[in-house]
Structures are given as C-alpha cells and as structure tokens.
Structure 1
C-alpha cells in the first residue's frame, strides 16, 4: 500500500511574512495501528499466540525505558537501535555545565540496515 502525501506551502523560517514560499510533499494523516492489531498480525504470521505477543510487547514497553535510563543503548537486531539523547544550555566553561543545564531528554530510534532496505521500495500516492 502506498504512503499518501499532500502538498503543503511553507515559507522561509525566521523571515517576516514567510519570505519566499515553496511547495513540499508531506505525509497525510495515517491510520494508527494499536497493540491489539499488531499482536493479532504477529500471531497470524508466527507460532506465538496473540496473548503471548501482547505480553512480550508490554514487557518491551516496560524494559526499554529502564535500560535507557541506566545509560544503555538497546539494539533489537534487524529492527534497529534505541538510544537516549540530551540537549542542554551552552555554558562558558566546562565547570558550569551540570545536570541543571540539561533541558531535554529524547529517545531516538535508528533503523537497522535491513529495516532501511525494506523501506526503500515504498510507493507514494498523492492525496487529493
């Protein structure tokens, strides 16, 4: 199934009135696949029951933050890798940087080479 996109107009960031406007492709609203739908599909293509699949996925949701908060990077093989990234205020000296300098924590996902290969053949369809 193709990824649907729409055309959006965007101006130049930081320019009053938007500056020169250009048109870009952007994805449209997508259907959300929930845990139940995912587990049903996983059960259908494997020997694991839907209930067991839900249990494993819930366990992953529980363990991932624990491992990440302990400073680990979590690799899920051909799926990809999760890691924690932080952003902080700039300070004049190294000594001035402390935990209070950190302003945001985010989790990043880097897909594996195999995952990226599977996404290469994606088709697109313009949404009218």
Structure 2
C-alpha cells in the first residue's frame, strides 16, 4: 500500500509578486474510512464484536471533547495524545487579553513513538 501524492507549485509567502516558485509533493486522493468500516475491520482482527467496537468509538466521540474542554490532554497509550490549542489576537497589555481575544480552537493529535514507528517505511506513489 502506498500514499498517493501530487505535485503542486507554491510561491514564497510574503514576497511581492510571489517570489520564486517551487514544486512540492502533496498528499492526495484520500479515501475516507467511516465508523462502520473501522469497526468491521477492528472486529475482524480481534475478539470484540462490531457492535461493541462501534459503542466504544462512539463513547470516545462523546468523552474526548468533554475532557479536552476541562483542560485535559488525553493519552491513548500507543495510539497517541490529544490536546487543545487556542489562537488569539495579540493585545498591548496582559489585562487586555480576555475570552473575546480567542479566535480559534484546534484539537491536536501527537502520535506515540509506536504509532510513528508503524508509519516509517511507507511507500509513495505519484498520482497521475
């Protein structure tokens, strides 16, 4: 199995007229795997039923945001860690920073060392 990529042209950010252009590889043609497909596959490689797998994954969908909103990072062992990051406007004084200064929230996933090891050695295929 290989990750498909395409070649994209990009300009230099912040340079008038775009500056010099370079070409970069960019992942493409991503298929989406839904909850049903994931649970079927998990059930096929374990002793857990498809229904039980769906129940656990749905439980994660409900619990992860709850814990993240409480300010927790969530470690899922050899899978990795979820955490929240926020983006805000810069203010002149610390007192001027408030909840209205926050413009965006992002959930980050940091894969574990084991997860990263499993991704090493992946093949790449240029998408025509």
Supply the distance in 1 between the matched residues of 2:10 and 2:125 (Cα, whole angstroms): 21
Q: Deviations over 1:40-69 (max 9, x none)?
A: 000000000001100100000010000000
Structure 1 residue aligned with 2:3 = 3
Structure 2 residue aligned with 1:98 = 98
Where in structure 2 are the equivalents of 1:1-128 lying within 5 Å? 1-128=1-128
Supply the distance in 2 between the matched residues of 1:90 and 1:127 (Cα, whole angstroms): 42
Q: Which moved more, 1:11-20 or 1:60-69?
A: 11-20
Structure 1 alignment gaps of length 5 or more: none
Aligned residue pairs: how many? 128
Supply the distance in 2 between the matched residues of 1:29 and 1:11 (Cα, whole angstroms): 23
TM-score normalised according to structure 1 size:
0.96
Supply the distance in 2 between the matched residues of 1:57 and 1:37 (Cα, whole angstroms): 12
Supply the distance in 2 between the matched residues of 1:118 and 1:103 (Cα, whole angstroms): 35
Supply the distance in 1 between the matched residues of 2:27 and 2:46 (Cα, whole angstroms): 31
Supply the distance in 1 between the matched residues of 2:49 and 2:69 (Cα, whole angstroms): 31
Supply the distance in 2 between the matched residues of 1:36 and 1:116 (Cα, whole angstroms): 25
